[in-house]
């Protein structure tokens, strides 16, 4: 029996009608990412409380962000992706969620800035959940539903970030940041247990693992690695997707992680700023789902190009906003920044074939986390040397042009909602 025949027979589950199990896989993927987002939001939304207790300031905050995000990016690009293709999508996702949970809860015991930074850095490495959840869903659900179901993953970011912002603004001020970190940190652990005991490994991954060495050789199978991603057949895809992920996070960085210090310079108080973040995040949940549906109808390329341009225009609108329009336009910027990610996961799943999909997706998301880290190192010095307006101009014009160019670089799939390329 040929390798192709084996693959087709083992992948019938993906071609069947939508079932409750498919929906459950999507729900756990979304909620797993939501728990990570809630964890990620703890630091920026509870910053005033941490500043008072541990002596954090804005410059130190940038280094903590950078340490965590760059570490996550490096691990995602070099370790997590290869582990996903070697050992499976499910165990890597469980491990990533557990890492975030354990070290976030440990960070609640921090006694100084140094101990807090170490715990937060290791907790942030677990954010590779983002890429793994995308692969898990993409390879488990019917092709005709893949677009909107993967598009729901970033909705978890808005859901989790909004929950954490509300919790930090309304509850943490009463119970303190340490109990808040302990409670929010437990969420990823709950999701890790649910994934471990209720989700099966994807049929595409199992199909490849069951092939013998001669079948893999016949398909020109190679060991998944960063080097392979830059081979002649994959180079253009890797460059396009990686550029997009690296620069697309800048708008998210400004509207999520630096929103409170930015809004403070515009005269907005802490509680009002946190409420704006919560509102923007929860509207962003709806926006990302809608984006996923647009991806099904129009494809990820067209959707991402359109949203990138509109997002750049909204950044210009924020620059010229007055006091009474600042919060509404800020919320629009945040919603658009989140909506962009309703289509981005489909870009990575469609760009890479199955045998290297985990490696490619993790490399792309690693570039995204590295983008968060590099921007964390640059934003505060740029604010000090220039102004917040300068940063928003950079996001509005040159970065928007880079995003559009990177989408054009990435090859389109042969048809919308087509089966994912296996080999």
Measuring CA to CA, which residue among 140, 151, 174, 82 is closest to residue 358? 82
Lowest mean pLDDT of 264-278, 299-313, 342-356, 382-396, name the range.
Answer: 342-356
Contacts of 259 (CB under 8 A, 6+ apart): 44, 273, 276, 277, 330, 334
List the Cα angle 21/30/144 in 5-degree steps: 55
* pLDDT for res 420: 55
Q: How confident is the model at residue 148 (pLDDT cuts 50, 70, 90)?
A: confident
Lowest mean pLDDT of 111-115, 156-160, 282-286, name the range.
Answer: 156-160
pLDDT above 60: residue 422: no
DSSP 8-class letter at 46: T
Q: How many residues does the chain have?
A: 423
> Is pLDDT larger for residue 82 or for residue 22?
22
Domain extents in the chain: 15-205+224-409
User: What phi and psi values does residue 153 have, to the nearest 5 degrees?
Assistant: -60, -50
Segment 309-316 mean pLDDT: 93
pLDDT above 80: residue 421: no
% of the chain residues with pLDDT over 70: 88
**What is the C-alpha separation between 387 and 11, in angstroms, rounded?**
54
* pLDDT for res 400: 95
pLDDT above 60: residue 74: yes
Torsional sign, CA 136, 75, 209, 189: negative
**What is the C-alpha separation between 399 and 249, in angstroms, rounded?**
10
pLDDT above 50: residue 191: yes
Two tokens, residue 184:
């929010």
Torsional sign, CA 19, 25, 29, 34: positive
Q: Do residues 104 and 150 lie in contact, with contact meaning Cβ atoms separated by under 8 Å? A: no
* pLDDT for res 13: 44
Measuring CA to CA, which residue among 412, 12, 9, 421 is closest to residue 219? 421
Measuring CA to CA, which residue among 335, 410, 415, 418 is closest to residue 367? 410
* pLDDT for res 3: 39
pLDDT above 50: residue 6: no
Segment 163-183 mean pLDDT: 76
* CATH superfamily, domain at 15-205+224-409: MFS general substrate transporter like domains (1.20.1250.20)
């Amino acid at each position: 029996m040929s390798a192709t025949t084996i693959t087709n027979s083992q992948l019938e589950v993906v071609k069947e009608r939508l079932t409750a199990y498919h929906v459950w896989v999507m729900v756990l993927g979304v909620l797993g990412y939501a728990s990570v987002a809630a964890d990620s939001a703890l630091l920026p939304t509870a910053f005033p409380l941490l500043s008072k207790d541990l002596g954090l300031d804005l410059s130190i905050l940038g280094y903590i962000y950078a340490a965590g995000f760059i570490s996550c990016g490096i691990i995602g690009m070099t370790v997590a992706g290869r582990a996903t293709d070697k050992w499976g999508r499910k165990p890597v996702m469980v491990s990533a969620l557990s890492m975030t949970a354990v070290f976030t809860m440990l960070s609640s015991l921090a006694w100084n800035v140094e101990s807090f930074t170490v715990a937060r850095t290791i907790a942030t490495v677990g954010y590779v959940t983002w890429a793994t959840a995308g692969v898990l869903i993409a390879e488990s659900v019917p092709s005709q539903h893949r677009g909107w179901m993967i598009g729901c993953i970033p909705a978890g970011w808005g859901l989790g970030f909004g929950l954490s912002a509300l919790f930090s603004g309304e509850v943490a001020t009463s119970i303190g940041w340490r109990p808040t970190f302990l409670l929010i940190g437990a969420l990823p652990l709950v999701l890790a247990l649910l994934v471990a005991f209720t989700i099966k490994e994807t049929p595409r991954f199992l199909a490849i693992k069951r092939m013998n060495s001669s079948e893999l050789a016949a398909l020109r199978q190679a060991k998944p690695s960063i080097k392979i991603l830059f081979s002649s057949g994959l180079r253009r895809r890797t460059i396009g997707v990686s550029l997009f992920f690296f620069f697309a996070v800048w708008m998210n960085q400004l509207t999520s992680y630096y929103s409170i210090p930015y809004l403070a310079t515009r005269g907005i108080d802490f509680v009002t700023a946190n409420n704006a973040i919560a509102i923007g995040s929860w509207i962003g949940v709806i926006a990302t789902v809608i984006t996923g549906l647009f991806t099904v109808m129009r494809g990820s390329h067209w959707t991402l190009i359109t949203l990138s341009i509109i997002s750049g225009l909204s950044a210009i609108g924020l620059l010229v906003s007055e006091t009474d329009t600042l919060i509404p336009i800020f919320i629009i910027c945040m919603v658009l920044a989140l909506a962009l990610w309703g289509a981005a996961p489909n870009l990575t799943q469609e760009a890479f074939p199955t045998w290297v999909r985990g490696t490619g997706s993790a490399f792309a998301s690693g570039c995204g986390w590295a983008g968060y880290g590099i921007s964390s190192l640059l934003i505060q010095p740029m604010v000090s040397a220039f102004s917040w307006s300068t940063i928003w101009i950079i996001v509005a014009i040159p970065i928007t042009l880079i995003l559009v160019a990177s989408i054009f670089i990435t090859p389109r799939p042969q048809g919308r909602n087509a089966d994912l390329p296996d080999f």
